[in-house]
A and B are shown apart, each in its own frame.
Chain A
């Protein structure tokens, strides 16, 4: 180890920010579906895995990293759409519990479909700037980490603009606030569920394609990253974009610092211990509004 203590800390912080940006993207996808259906979407993590796997397959076929990632994101969003149309839309009584359970079935199905078609081997591809590594005050920061943070930020801004300024975005917010009132003023509630699945899959697909150059992915990686995303969403407070962002970053940093300074064996436990503590102390999350969720 030639780098000093400061450089080491900086390196851990960058790694944490990169992972945190991914958790934030997953948390947003999770939030969007939760707000429109009230359900926990267990498929969210599978969409992340799907993004990485499809991009890897496309890139090994055609060679172009950017094009492959773009294709993968579009395909994942389309899979989100089809999943909702086939599984959720036909329900007569779409209760939150039923949608949650169906998303478990969908997650199992998606995971095994990937295993059958794209294989069991871990997949990866070079980063958007190749294997370029920046040297920031002695800390080694892969260019891909910078890409991840930048793309996540752009997605957040785009999502914010979408919800604030477009008719569809506003109607989705209306449904999230009050389903019945929204349907009374003529908003198609069922269709908004469909769009929330598309947006959720889009966020997951983007997260998957940008993280895979750093971590690789395989068909069974979805669940864990999905739960980290859930934790981030809970941490920030369910339903707020900035909360998801903050939750993701906090979680990523905590995990990375714990792995660096405490023990890498217990890294995965850190995320969940923090989650439990936050739930006990402030059940509405860091940025969420106080609610009646706690007796």
Chain B
């Protein structure tokens, strides 16, 4: 009865979704078949953005897309593949941003140091918080990570001497090579493109590796995975630290491309939206993250003309998509395949 791709069984009380596709870019789905090639073409075209257009607005959209992609793809690894619901991702994003920002703006250290510093800071905090938190499951884990994010938000707002408080952190120095400063979004774009590309490549390899199989096993059933010799807690902690440090990296690149950050960008409501984007794109789907990042970047722009009504339409759209495609937009590919090959018992 239950097909391998089922999101979950209706009677199940587990909150965590189960990873759906067996291989990133595997051949089990329509997207999986044309996906990898289309994605490479898309990725190369993406790099041309700052070179073919002088339009700052389009470049800034590209920058947000790449940052959102890193955030959503890493969260997708944690939620979609590993089955751990985290509502603290924006916290790690902020941790990375403020670490990089404070390193260059307050301590006057070379901004390049912010890149490793933000990754390491986010990973360290992820390990520290992960050791107690990852022993919790389902909604308890979701609430604990949400609480962690809320505490970070309070700190970002209140530690005014370090973070600049609600007014935001100013005076962040741009990255640069000698006298060539990456001080505009068009100039920093290639660096972002490279980082996001490496993240996507790394995630793809990880998912296909032994580790990826272990993660999917423990997302399906932690008990079964442990009985097969997977050290569930260790894997969860490693993935939590890894996804945290990717979010930290995204935070560093965020503050370096805007040369400014304020606490609103790292609020727990951002974490909730990121979770929603993972689901809208398709959790446990490699390309789901790309779709999620596209929506997250484009929706506010497309709906901008509606002004105050944009959130209304966004909320309604989210409800409709999830009602009809509970597996996210990446699930539309499956639905299309099933339409012309309906015979399956």
Contacts and interface: CB of A to CB of B under 8 A. Distances in A.
Interface of A: 34, 38-40, 42, 87, 90-98, 100-102, 104-113, 115-116, 179-180, 223, 227, 230-231, 234, 238, 265-266, 268-269, 271-273, 275-276, 279-280, 283, 293-295
Contact of A108 (B14, B139, B222, B318): B318
B138 interface: yes
A272 B6 CA distance: 35
Given A98-B326, A268-B150, A268-B154, A93 B140 contact: no
Nearest to A114: B312
A293 B222 CA distance: 12
A95 B269 contact: no
A115 B308 contact: yes
B272 A97 contact: no
B232 A295 contact: yes
Contacts of B319: 87, 102, 105-106, 109
B116 interface: no
Given A276-B147, A295-B135, A101 B276 contact: yes
Interface of B: 6-17, 85, 132-133, 135-140, 142-144, 146-148, 150-151, 154-155, 158, 222, 232-233, 268-269, 272-273, 275-276, 279, 308-312, 314-316, 318-319, 322-323, 326
Given A104-B272, A116-B308, A90 B150 contact: no
Contacts of B276: 101, 104-105
Interface centre among B14, B142, B144 (most CB of A within 10 A): B144
Nearest to B223: A295
A107 B273 CA distance: 11
Contacts of A223: 269
Contact of A112 (B16, B135, B308): B308
Contacts of A180: 11
A119 to B, nearest CB: 10
Interface centre among A101, A227, A273, A276 (most CB of B within 10 A): A101
A112 B314 CA distance: 10
Contacts of B142: 40
A93 B7 contact: yes
A111 B8 CA distance: 30
Contacts of B143: 40, 230-231, 234, 275, 279
Given A100-B15, A273-B151, A280-B132, 12 more contacts: A40-B15, A91-B323, A93-B10, A95-B12, A102-B322, A115-B308, A227-B268, A231-B143, A234-B143, A266-B154, A271-B150, A295-B135
Contact of A98 (B151, B314, B322): B322
Q: Please provide the 8 A-B residue pairs with the shortest distance between their CB atoms, ordered closest to farther.
A: A109-B315, A108-B315, A112-B311, A105-B318, A272-B147, A269-B154, A105-B319, A112-B312
A294 B222 CA distance: 12
B296 to A, nearest CB: 13
Contacts of B148: 272, 276
A95 B232 contact: no
B147 A293 contact: no
B168 to A, nearest CB: 17
Nearest to A107: B315
Contacts of B138: 96, 293
28 contacts: A38-B15, A91-B323, A92-B326, A93-B8, A93-B326, A95-B10, A97-B8, A97-B17, A97-B85, A101-B276, A102-B322, A104-B272, A105-B315, A107-B315, A108-B311, A109-B311, A112-B311, A112-B312, A116-B312, A269-B150, A272-B154, A273-B151, A276-B132, A276-B144, A276-B151, A279-B133, A293-B140, A295-B222
